Structure 1
């Protein structure tokens, strides 16, 4: 019955009635079946799949045709076939070089990994984060971070707290918590891609130190100048998505996104679950009712063949690629891949191969219990993409409607921000957030890559610094900034360098948004049980946030509630080791 359904679905995708039929199977050299191999039909340009049984059947308009078979880890094979024959296709394994499964989020120049390994609190699991420590400026003056738009950590933390549960330390990524609020956006100067503005003030949790905020704002694309968009919605409809806070949330979010589409944009829908297939071939943005009806019809069931779904979505995106357009796969899942590739290393290798085609990736995570944050994060980081966690209908609307341009349209790729401190002014510094995974620090092959930045994005990079003198005097130049990036339309590297004068601003004269940002950073440190906030308390977070929160901001007012919840869960004393 399932095979008959697959045949019917394949026939639906052809506008011309087929007169012939090509049948066969795909195996490896040892005779084992190879499920989900991609099959490109040369006469039509359509891409099919061998299915879970390794068998395939596809319509043809003539007796002879040419098919190209491909599967990750195997050599591509091109064959001329006759519809009168049953074809057995044998794929040979491809030789692959060694690559590191880890990527760094931050990197201090010349700082040896064995020094960072001393920061470990134990030999924890691969996904464990290692908090950044203070660095001696004289020995290591230069450090850098990979900028990205990920915001998943904040809404995931919110989900834990609203369920009166402790937050796993590794779920706390402070840079993503700060990203969530898009603080202090200011349009860059004419001809500039980014605006970089530093601010120096006291550290509210350590009177001996100071905080250096670096606000980075990206160029905002005007709506009338946006390139045409080729979107592929890749939606997990497996049995694990059959809960109110999973597939229904995602369907709501995708409907919001569809409302932003223009007639020149197109949408396709690929699903994976009980079967993997194309529910909607490329359809113009003007046909909103047709697109919304398909979204409404999605129902959950079956296993989670995430690998097959990702590959099919990318093949569809490639087959309808818009040159100089915005080509993007939007993956929505709880990340629980249980068929095909499952490990983070395998997923990273697969998605790295796909990104080279110039197709971006947006990842939307949902769910609890079996939610696989690390797997979705790997896909987003390696797929030239961004990552958000959807825990409520309001969050779905925020990410896919209100922040549509940030989420979907890219203004800069491979964005890397380098900070060089002046040792005569700064004695030691500590990067807050951008904590690396334990495995990445251990692996000498791990490298750092720049991230993808969307339209109208504002980031805060925060350092806690120990000045040489008690207070950094006015009109000094304690830092030099270098921002490297590429444009989406080409791979030429651009560089923006500044060495601004930085004056110390007293805490009472600091804009409320920076004060509030410091409360968010401190909140994350307490959730991590950071050794660098050992004298701080939940009341300290509340005091700063209450005085600085914008009364008209729903997100900032909600933050006050989350701090109160955390205080009641963790109690007056700092927790020791719950995770």
Structure 2
């Protein structure tokens, strides 16, 4: 049995929990009302809890039994008997799918789809380079949108427009990564090509590749798992999926790493005290024992997790809270604005945040997006165990080990060569794109990550001189937990390459951007068709790569979903 971190108590509340046949019940969740902490019974159903009060109220819950509350006195051994439940737990009922918009008091829009919430995005428009030559956008690129879109399409459901964030879809695949040379932190590359859907336009690709950290030299990690175990998580694609995901992650812990677990469901409590990565079996067992019940006090849970992370803070180490939830907070502060204020204060401690979203039907994408953005963190959506393995194992260093903070891409176009430009994706950054005086909050860049941004540009001349720069890049960043600002300058040369001769991974990125525009029914689609999207992907995808091969299938499914079944040409054979 474990004990939560509490103020020093004067009394002990002791006892045991049995069923109505006299069998000891272990792993019964015990909620202490005075401290709002959670405990559980040990292997023989016994418990011992510190209390500042001579008598205290405890609530006992476990699946399959009726919940019981009782006032316990410190001077008496108590036997708590739980009766088997005769009422089946409520299961989620099928719901009608609806789409509606509502304006919040601060002017921000959210859209609702089957009780799921998303920020309403405003598509970036063409900006005249002469009036507004400067463009700035945060490189805080999450990857949640692609797996969420995949979930809808695989369920044969139309994708909510505002669930489609094109920059996240493009960067899901970590395309066009080139290792920085000479121990540089970043490698920057640019490429100009023709635009498949607009004969009068061109595409400008900007790529930032971050240095890969040597894990043998990475400092120890202090990780706090903040896991939602509320009643809304009691579905196979929620808590059970998260448990399997964290089990995969635990296998990669090093002895110098430490893990703590804070849970919230009805109340907030410490589930696992800080434990070294050498004790993988103990951590795994603790995760496996999690069960779902109660309401969702997300605000107090976030405070508790950050407080614990600060108490166990490792100087010059990796300190991170990993929040795993469907985002459905229903106790305490619940609005995006209130959570934004909360997390802005908490991140000042130097603790980073990763958000892992799960579930459907009441999934709150807007809340997790807010938390990740304001918490110096990142955000992924887990739609199945393979996605969990990708995020928590294959891309472990990208997800949890940042190489830079507050990263912002500043771009100044040459108005003599560029007439108009449009940033594809990053749609929630529209005001910043058109107003260079706007403040842009940068994001974190993970180890070994590749970030692609794509602009559609209209040039002033039919073909600019090779000796002239299209634009200038000034990359702004800070090293982790270092307030000093660094800058990296890079010219965007006129290295035009016809689209059919473009690097395959840039062509694939173009197909993905077109896919996102099609799902959003963009007004800039031009000549784009589902067949064109598929053809470009087929010509450029590495079909031996599972995710890229799956993308081809996803295009076909989306085409049929939106337009009805069609006969699709066969996939090309792998090259020898």
Distance 2:434 2:352 in 1: 29
Corresponding residue SS for 2:341:
helix
Corresponding residue SS for 2:175:
coil
Distance 1:498 1:101 in 2: 38
1:21 Cα deviation from its structure 2 partner: 7.5
Equivalence for 2:291: 299
Rate the CA distance shift 1:322–1:151 in 2: closer, same or farther, 3 A. Answer: same
Distance 2:263 2:434 in 1: 37
Distance 1:378 1:159 in 2: 21
Equivalent pair of 1:360/1:384 in contact (CA under 8 Å): yes
Note the residue ranges of structure 1 that are not aligned, 5 or more in a row: 1-7, 23-47, 64-99, 105-124, 574-579
1:176 Cα deviation from its structure 2 partner: 0.4
Relative to the length of structure 1, the TM-score reads 0.78
1:51 Cα deviation from its structure 2 partner: 2.5
1:552 Cα deviation from its structure 2 partner: 1.2
Rate the CA distance shift 1:446–1:329 in 2: closer, same or farther, 3 A. Answer: farther
| CA deviations over 1:501-525 (Å, ceiling 9, x no partner) | 3311112211111111100000000
Equivalence for 2:19: none
Distance 1:323 1:456 in 2: 23
Root mean square deviation, CA, Å: 3.0
Equivalence for 2:236: 244
Q: Does 1:221 align with 2:203?
A: no
Equivalence for 1:41: none
Equivalent pair of 2:299/2:333 in contact (CA under 8 Å): yes
Relative to the length of structure 2, the TM-score reads 0.78
Corresponding residue SS for 2:308:
helix
Equivalence for 2:323: 331
| CA deviations over 1:320-344 (Å, ceiling 9, x no partner) | 1011110000000000001111100
Equivalent pair of 1:129/1:436 in contact (CA under 8 Å): yes
Rate the CA distance shift 1:442–1:143 in 2: closer, same or farther, 3 A. Answer: closer
| CA deviations over 1:255-288 (Å, ceiling 9, x no partner) | 1111111111100000000331001010000000
Rate the CA distance shift 1:220–1:475 in 2: closer, same or farther, 3 A. Answer: same
Equivalence for 1:51: 36
Q: Does 1:235 align with 2:227?
A: yes
Q: How does 1:371-410 map to 2 (within 5 A)?
A: 371-410=363-402
2:148 to 156, 160, 166: 156
| CA deviations over 1:95-145 (Å, ceiling 9, x no partner) | xxxxx97999xxxxxxxxxxxxxxxxxxxx992100000011111101011
Q: Does 1:503 align with 2:495?
A: yes
1:352 to 333, 344, 355: 344
Equivalence for 2:359: 367
Distance 1:491 1:274 in 2: 39
1:489 Cα deviation from its structure 2 partner: 3.7
Rate the CA distance shift 1:519–1:401 in 2: closer, same or farther, 3 A. Answer: same
Rate the CA distance shift 1:18–1:347 in 2: closer, same or farther, 3 A. Answer: closer
Distance 1:472 1:211 in 2: 14
Corresponding residue SS for 2:444:
strand
Equivalent pair of 1:230/1:327 in contact (CA under 8 Å): yes
Corresponding residue SS for 1:327:
strand
1:192 Cα deviation from its structure 2 partner: 2.1
Note the residue ranges of structure 2 that are not aligned, 5 or more in a row: 14-32, 39-48, 55-104, 110-116, 566-576
Rate the CA distance shift 1:445–1:196 in 2: closer, same or farther, 3 A. Answer: closer
1:474 Cα deviation from its structure 2 partner: 2.6
Distance 2:306 2:190 in 1: 40
